[in-house]
Structure 1
Amino acid sequence: MVVEQLEFDLEPSHLSPDYIVTKSNVLIEMPLSLDLQEMRIIYTLISLIQPEDEDFKTHFLRVKELAEILDIQEKNYYKKIRDVVVGLQRKQLVIRENGGESDLVVNWLSASRYHHRKGLVELEFSPQLKPYLLKLKKNFTYYKLSNVLVLKSKYSIRLYEILKRYLSFGKKRFTIEQLRHLLEIEKDKLTHYGHFKQRVLLRAQEELAEKTDIMFDFDEIKVGQKVVSITCYIKQNNRKKLQSSNDPVFEDDSAYNLLTRFGVRSTTAKELINTYGEDRVLANIRYVYEKKQDVNIDNISGYIVKAIREDYVNTSSDYEEEDDLDFETSIPQLNARINSLIERYHEQIRLSSNADERRLKQEMAQKIVDEIETTIEKRQNKNLRPLDTVDFEHPYARELYDYLLDHPRY
């Protein structure tokens, strides 16, 4: 009787490529033991996690929608989905914890259930994964689900999220062995660098530039005639528009669901809708999609809330359009300069004496402030909108900007 009642209470989770995947960097920088279809299911499931979730929820996914996500063309996709889920249920990952003092061996899923008559799959993450997927405050990477769903190679997906993790640094050096390990390339596969370059690096380079929000170039480092490592140069891809206000998410979901999906707390979501109405809320979410999709917004929920409160969709016409390639005014490029400064000074501070540490920190803060103030002036000259705290990727930059707002003559 309980099972029968459960059957009636099933409520399918709404899926959208515009939802956000947020993962601890621990999971970004380790092998995941997943094939292409399993990755797509796991990342879709991660995108359903909301920032305020204290525990993992059980999600009911429509088999038909999963077939579309997995790009399964066979007529008998029910059996194919079942096979993928059964295989995923067995998959484990090994997480090195406590500085290497212990290893956590855990299954991705705690349980799965296939509801034949309802056309639903029931999935839930293992509770041991909570520190790596729930309520992340630092050392995490996030991206829109659409970026990985469009990629056709598991190597491209893994390379995308690894490079996304280092986007704010602008570059990352990998040994070939390190990359092979992260991408889980078997020891007897693609052993010749030329094959590895052609089938993994160049293919991913083309796919990411064509389909995602980042792109990369790379230099090869050789010892003699052998390529032993590569340096990847990573940047925002401003050529590809990924979002559309015609996306089904706007047709099938309410303003409240959209707000909570993108990290706005439920109390704030209700307050915004009650104060401004559904039409204004939805219009400003569309505005963020259409106008700001290429901007690497660290605090997407804060940005959306501000857009609604200030009604960006009706007030932004007073300002000129952003040019993310303009070195002097671009917000992404300002963030890149700030992140580079912080990275460089942190390395100097790490190697410095206690006597020099205070001086270096003050010097770093002043240079960041100089960058911000110069950019503010250039943006004013070109009639671009004022900077906002949520525009800054690094928490320290946000802290300094807030200080500048309170102390404009600093």
Structure 2
Amino acid sequence: MSADKQLPAPQQAVNLPRHIKKGHQLVFSRQDLSAREADVFALMMAFMSPDDWNQAETPKYTFKASELSEWLNISSKYVAGTLSPVAERLSTRTVGIKNLKGDEGEFDYIPYFKRIQYKDRMLTITPNDELKSEYIEYNQGFALINAKNFFGLKREYSKRLYEILSRFKTGGTHMPEKSIHELKGLFGLLDENGNLKPNRKSFANNGVFMKRCIRESIEEISTNPETKKELIFFQSPDGENQGIDLIKRGKSIVGIEFLYSWVDKGTVQELNEIEAYKTIRKLEGKRANNTKLTLDELKLLLMAYNAVKQTARAKRVEEAISKRAEEEMQRSTAEDLESLLSKIDELEQTMDDPDY
């Protein structure tokens, strides 16, 4: 890989960056990209840094066929056949950026790239200057997306959900409830007027949307050998849904709350085997002495068992985490209700016990 910025010469090996960094505005934009298109865009973002723009000309990012083959898991014989049409389609793609100064539902649709070309076994990408602030400004926060794991996911909607959930990794942050309409926008199903695109009419049925964009994405992320080590989805309080709690108005689903936790608090670092064995010995020793492990300790134990490929034990710990998280959620709800009723009792003492 090479670019206008100071990078190693083309003949030198370049490692794939550990993370893809995307600002909040870009993460929560309206994107309609296939899996391969999302990979190419993410590859550019993985190598982009604010310093790239400290020059007169727009930066360019150039990737050799051998790098694309390795990082995107494409047979070297089929790199051209796979990526040439992808580059052609990407040259016309736009991204919907939310207009922060306008009405709530306003989005500006801007082309991703100034130019993108696959020629002579080289992919050259020139980003659009109009998106400079969305590409490199992080004043609203950002997502650190594990690059290798992102490229390892197969489905476009799985990649999109993984990217969105990566925005909320650190302690104390969690993705707020999202309406079905907003989620359809995030998954690239809506046009500039907020209506379903002509080729996405089947998603008018919320059951189709839930299956293809949400449930199948959660299924892939939670069963992928790598992403399942870092991201856990919990059962809903009613036990009917994995990773989501449905918000309903009558019988209609109007929104979703995602029920998940990042195992390692956003560091995205796996334990090596020696550290894993030490962790297992320590925490299983506590359990053997009838000491109940904390939720954070259970998450660490899960990561340790995954590191040494003890799938069956990891599954048992994962089930315990899900159960514990549900218990804590119910306890918190009960405590909130008790506090509310106490305040109502105090208020009624100052009143003449009015009827309902």
User: What interval of TM-score do these two structures reach, taking the shorter chain for normalisation?
Assistant: 0.5 to 0.7
Greater share of helix: 1
Post-superposition CA distance 1:298-338 (Å, at most 9, x none): 9x9xxxxxxxxxxxx9xx99x96897x953766999xxxxx
Counterparts in 2 of 1:150 and 1:67: CA distance versus 1, 3 Å: same
Counterparts in 2 of 1:34 and 1:171: CA distance versus 1, 3 Å: closer
- Quote how far apart the aligned CAs of 1:15 are: 4.5
- Quote how far apart the aligned CAs of 1:103 are: 6.2
Post-superposition CA distance 1:115-161 (Å, at most 9, x none): 41xx2122121222221222535421112112311111111111112
Q: Distance in 1 between matches of 2:119 and 2:32?
A: 26
RMSD: 3.8
Q: Distance in 2 between matches of 1:125 and 1:185?
A: 23
Provide TM-score, normalisation by structure 2: 0.59
Q: Distance in 1 between matches of 2:251 and 2:298?
A: 41
Match of 2:232 among 215, 222, 225: 215
Match of 1:327 among 291, 294, 298: 294
Post-superposition CA distance 1:187-223 (Å, at most 9, x none): 3123333333332322111111223232331112222
Contact 1:108 1:126 in 2 (8 A): yes
The residue aligned with 2:97 is 95
The residue aligned with 2:112 is 108
- Quote how far apart the aligned CAs of 1:39 are: 0.6
- Quote how far apart the aligned CAs of 1:38 are: 0.9
The residue aligned with 2:321 is none
The residue aligned with 1:45 is 44
Task: Name the SS for the 2:96 alignment partner.
Answer: strand
Task: Name the SS for the 1:30 alignment partner.
Answer: coil
- Quote how far apart the aligned CAs of 1:66 are: 2.3
Match of 2:181 among 177, 181, 186: 177
Contact 1:106 1:128 in 2 (8 A): yes
Task: Give the AA of the match of 1:166.
Answer: F
Contact 1:170 1:233 in 2 (8 A): no
Query: How many aligned residue pairs are there?
Result: 252
Q: Distance in 1 between matches of 2:267 and 2:77?
A: 40
Where do 1:1-400 residues align within 5 Å?
10=10, 14-16=14-16, 19-50=18-49, 52-55=51-54, 57-72=59-74, 75-100=77-102, 104-116=108-120, 119-134=121-136, 136-168=138-170, 169-185=173-189, 187=196, 188-211=201-224, 212=227, 213-216=230-233, 217-236=243-262, 238=263, 294-297=264-267, 326-327=293-294
Task: Give the AA of the match of 1:77.
Answer: V
Task: Give the AA of the match of 1:220.
Answer: L
- Quote how far apart the aligned CAs of 1:21 are: 0.8
Task: Name the SS for the 2:22 alignment partner.
Answer: strand
Provide TM-score, normalisation by structure 1: 0.52
Task: Name the SS for the 1:34 alignment partner.
Answer: coil
The residue aligned with 1:342 is none
Identity, % of aligned positions: 20
Q: Distance in 1 between matches of 2:175 and 2:144?
A: 18
Q: Distance in 2 between matches of 1:328 and 1:31?
A: 35
Q: Distance in 2 between matches of 1:106 and 1:13?
A: 33
Counterparts in 2 of 1:327 and 1:170: CA distance versus 1, 3 Å: farther
Counterparts in 2 of 1:215 and 1:189: CA distance versus 1, 3 Å: farther
Contact 2:178 2:256 in 1 (8 A): yes
Contact 1:13 1:60 in 2 (8 A): no
Task: Name the SS for the 2:38 alignment partner.
Answer: helix
Counterparts in 2 of 1:231 and 1:31: CA distance versus 1, 3 Å: same
Task: Name the SS for the 2:267 alignment partner.
Answer: coil
Task: Give the AA of the match of 1:32.
Answer: Q
